[in-house]
Chains A and B, each alone.
Chain A
Amino acid sequence: MLRKLLTMLALFVPGVAQAQEDDRLTVDVVGGQQAAQPVAVPQMAARGPVTTPIGNIDTVANNVALVIASDLRSTGVITPIGPVGLRRLRDSEVTNPIFPDWQRSGASALVAGYVEYGANGRLTLACYLFDTVTGRELVRQGYAVDPADWRRAAHKCADTVYSRLSGEAPFLDTRIVYVAETGPKDNRVKRIAVMDSDGQNHRYLTEGQETVLTPRFSPRGDQLVYMSYKGRRPRSYVYDLATGRSRLLVPGTAFTFAPSYSPDGRQIVFSMAEGGNTDIYVVAADGGTPRRLTTMPGVDTSPSFSPDGRRIVFESDRSGSQQLYVMNADGSDQRRISFGGGQYASPTWSPLGNLIAFTKIGGGQFRIGVMAPTGGGERLLTSAWQDEGPSWAPNGQFVMFHRTERGSGNATLYAVPVNGGRARVMPTPLGGSDPSWSPLQD
């Protein structure tokens, strides 16, 4: 699953020793490789009572390590070693690992720690990361959770490890909302579902009586905005995850679709179609009068805010074919940014601001790609019959999308690293489409 580009690059720079101002020798060394980092993830140490509400504490210690290892593997930049095949971590090693043992496993870093079921009914996970070569402690974090939420503690630990080793922001303690699909192509049942980013804790939010499309998380992760054919009227709704209630984005019968939140969560930008014309509007997330942002004849849709909230990227066929445009958040200064061959659709702005992901149509394929907000530097990340609907991980390092199979029309969620690498399947119990990645959870 993990493809390493193991290009050993040993460059011997013809470095001439340079005398510093104080005549100190300087040795220039250049070296490194493109590979996934091997990290040992042994079964954690266990402390406190043996019996916990979620089973024997040793089992918990092993399950935590399994989740951490699985999370780290999904990053693509880390190859976990263990917990299977490794001895368990001794209690004394939580802060003082016997490094040669872990080096021998081939790991250059070690995730150490313990789990403890405390008298207060909380489960504690202490999470340490060591460099096995230098013996340095690189980072530590501790979490206390309701025992039922042990997975989130493991995700937090994995995030800490990933973030320290990769330099990237964490993204593993997140959720995915998507459209679960089942049934034949001409009578497909579509339900909104949410799950943890590793596919666990899966549940449905809608029953499937009506077709639902394009759910998107709010920036705080407490709401969704989506489209539903409730009452045979396609309209966008705001859904409150805490109460399970939804309300119309725009009261009335207007055909509203392709909604998404502004980065501060206060506004929702969407498309409204009427009289054969589709334009982009923005409305306060808690209601109010929509403001129109585009007026050109044609289809203006799939709007997505930049992370600073100042600009919006969208697609428009005003030139005669679907292309990407960027405008200011008030609708001014609309400029086309895509000029390659083919058509460009469903843009979404990276949370880092530096890239825009899109669907590119051409050559009989629908592919996921990225380009700079100014339009340059286009890179295609996938190649398939029909990939579409990109959504960014909150750290801007992965793009999730759905791939539709020719013929059956069955759709599957995938995530692809933005810096190259193979797309991996996101596990879902049924088919899946229209994914949206939640922000990192608190």
Chain B
Amino acid sequence: MKKLLFISAATLVLAACGTKDDAVIAPSETAYDAPSTTVADDDVDLIELPNAQAAMIAAAGSDTIYFATDQYNLEMDARATLEAQARWLIDNPTVNASIEGHADERGTREYNLALGERRANAARDYLASMGVPNNRLTVVSWGKERPVALGSNEQAWAQNRRAVTVIVR
């Protein structure tokens, strides 16, 4: 249902040449920014804030949630982690978050990029539903480019199927 809503909204945005890139208002309106909008690339660079990141981890317990193979639905413990992250983000309104989705190595490059986006998007939606303003949340997919566990086994892959909330400026 949600997807369908998005699709029609995205189409509208495409047709209407939408908003400026950093004015992320609702998920459905971020489909892409109109080519007529001239934005310098570096305007939208995401800069990590390591101190804030450490503070969020301390408060929320973790910056990472995990997924089953080829899945992007949020499990119970993932929801709990995201709820704690949402509380911290609401308490710290001066920073933004980049929700970064990852996949294990056992997928093709392009599919894993899409899968990472699905995972990050699921986390982003949940954070938004907890009250974090959507314009503070960005979705990034790393596909299989940034594993944290190096092995080629189920244990390692389980650690790599994840979404990480990265605090950015």
B62 CB–A CB distance under 8 Å: no
Residues of A within 8 A of B105 (CB): 386, 404, 409
Q: How long is the Cα–Cα vector from A91 to B35 in the complex, in angstroms?
A: 62
Q: Hey, what's the 0/1 contact readout for A188-218 against B, CB within 8 Å counting as 1?
A: 1010000000000000000000010110000
Q: A211 contacts which of B32, B111, B117, B145 (Cβ < 8 Å)?
A: B145
Output the nearest chain B residue to A315 by Cβ-Cβ distance: B111
From B50-58, B77-85, B87-95, B147-155, the one touching the partner chain is B147-155
Cβ contact within 8 Å between A213 and B147: no
Residue contact A231 to B98, C-beta cutoff 8 Å: no
A304: min CB distance to chain B, Å:
11
Cα A250 to Cα B48 with chains together (Å): 24
Bitwise interface map of B from 13 to 36 toward A, beta carbon under 8 Å scored 1, else 0: 010010001100001101111110
Q: How far is the CA of A248 from the CA of B168 in the complex (A)?
A: 22
Q: Does B37 contact A (CB under 8 A)?
A: yes
> Are B34 and A252 neighbours in the complex by a CB distance under 8 Å?
yes
Contact present for B4 and A297 (CB under 8 Å): yes
| Chain B CB within 10 A, most for which of A252, A255, A385 | A252
Q: With CB as the reference atom, state the residue of chain B lying closest to A358.
A: B108
Instruction: Give per-residue flags for A361-403: 1 if the beta carbon is below 8 A from chain B beta carbons, else 0.
Output: 1000010000000000000000001101100000000000000
Does A41 belong to the interface (CB within 8 Å)? no
Name the residue in B38, B46, B109, B113 with the highest tally of chain A Cβ atoms < 10 Å from its Cβ: B109
Q: Report yes or no: B33 in contact with A388, Cβ–Cβ below 8 A.
A: no
CB neighbors of A among B107-127 (8 A): 107-111, 113-115, 117-118, 121-122, 125
Assembled-state Cα–Cα distance A297/B110 (Å): 16
| A245 in contact (CB, < 8 A) | no
Which of chain B's residues have a CB closer than 8 A to the CB of A251? Answer: 33-35, 37-39
Chain B residues closer than 8 Å to A256, beta-carbon distance: 32
Q: Which residue of B lies closest to A231 (CB)?
A: B45
Tell me the bound Cα distance from A389 to B108 in angstroms: 8
- Given contact pairs A231-B41, A251-B38, A273 touches B141 in the complex (Cβ within 8 A): yes
> Chain A contacts of B140 at CB under 8 A?
232-234, 255
Q: How far is the CA of A433 from the CA of B112 in the complex (A)?
A: 15
Closest chain B CB from A245 CB (angstroms): 12
Residues of B within 8 A of A229 (CB): 142, 145
Q: Is A265 an interface residue when CB atoms closer than 8 A count as contact?
A: no
Complex-state Cα separation, A94 to B35, whole angstroms: 59
How many residues belonging to A are interface residues under a CB distance threshold of 8 Å? 61
Q: Which residues of B sit under 8 angstroms from A254, Cβ to Cβ?
A: 30-33
CA distance A385 to B108 in the complex (A): 12
CA A322 to CA B109, docked complex, whole Å: 13
A301 close to chain B: CB less than 8 A = yes
For the complex, what is the distance from the CA of A277 to the CA of B114, rounded to whole Å?
A: 8
Q: Which of A31-39, A284-292, A325-333 contacts B (4 or more CB under 8 A)?
A: A284-292
* CB nearest to B8 among chain A residues: A295
In chain B, what residue has the closest Cβ to A284? B35
Separation of A278 and B44 alpha carbons in the complex (Å): 22
A147 to chain B minimum Cβ distance, whole angstroms, is: 40
Is the CB of B130 closer than 8 A to any CB of chain A? no
Task: Quote the shortest CB–CB distance from B128 to chain A (angstroms).
Answer: 11
Residues of A within 8 A of B125 (CB): 276
- Give the distance in Å from the alpha carbon of A433 to the alpha carbon of B145 in the complex: 12
Output the residue of A274, A292, A359, A361 with the most chain B CB within 10 A: A274
The reply to whether A232 and B46 form a contact with Cβ atoms under 8 Å apart is yes
Residues of A within 8 A of B158 (CB): none
Residue of A275, A297, A388 near B109 (CB, 8 A) is A388
* Chain B residues, Cβ within 8 Å of A274: 6, 10, 27, 30-32, 117
A186-B150, A230-B41, A255-B141 are contacts. A276–B122 as well, Cβ < 8 Å?
yes
Cβ A186 vs Cβ B14 within 8 A: no
The yes or no answer to B59 lying at the interface (CB within 8 A) is: no
- Check B121 against A276 for contact (C-beta < 8 Å): yes
In the assembled complex, how far is the CB of residue A389 from the closest CB belonging to chain B, in whole angstroms? 6
Q: How far is the CA of A149 from the CA of B4 in the complex (A)?
A: 56
Report the minimum CB–CB distance from A157 to chain B (whole Å). 36
Q: Provide the residues of chain A in CB contact with B168, threshold 8 Å.
A: 232
Residues of B within 8 A of A322 (CB): 108, 111
- B3 adjacent to A301 (CB under 8 Å): no
24 A-B contacts (beta carbon < 8 Å): A185-B147, A188-B145, A229-B145, A232-B46, A232-B47, A234-B113, A234-B142, A251-B34, A253-B22, A254-B33, A255-B117, A257-B114, A258-B113, A273-B114, A274-B10, A275-B6, A275-B121, A276-B117, A278-B114, A279-B7, A287-B35, A322-B111, A386-B106, A406-B152
Beyond A253-B21, A290-B14, A295-B11, 8 extra complex contacts between A and B, CB < 8 Å: A184-B150, A231-B45, A252-B34, A253-B32, A254-B31, A273-B114, A275-B121, A290-B35
Mark B residues whose CB is within 8 Å of A.
Answer: 2-4, 6-7, 10-11, 14, 17, 21-22, 27-28, 30-35, 37-39, 41-42, 44-48, 72, 98, 105-111, 113-115, 117-118, 121-122, 125, 138-143, 145-148, 150-152, 168
Closest 10 A-B residue pairs measured CB to CB? A252-B33, A254-B32, A231-B45, A232-B46, A276-B121, A275-B6, A273-B117, A299-B114, A345-B108, A278-B114
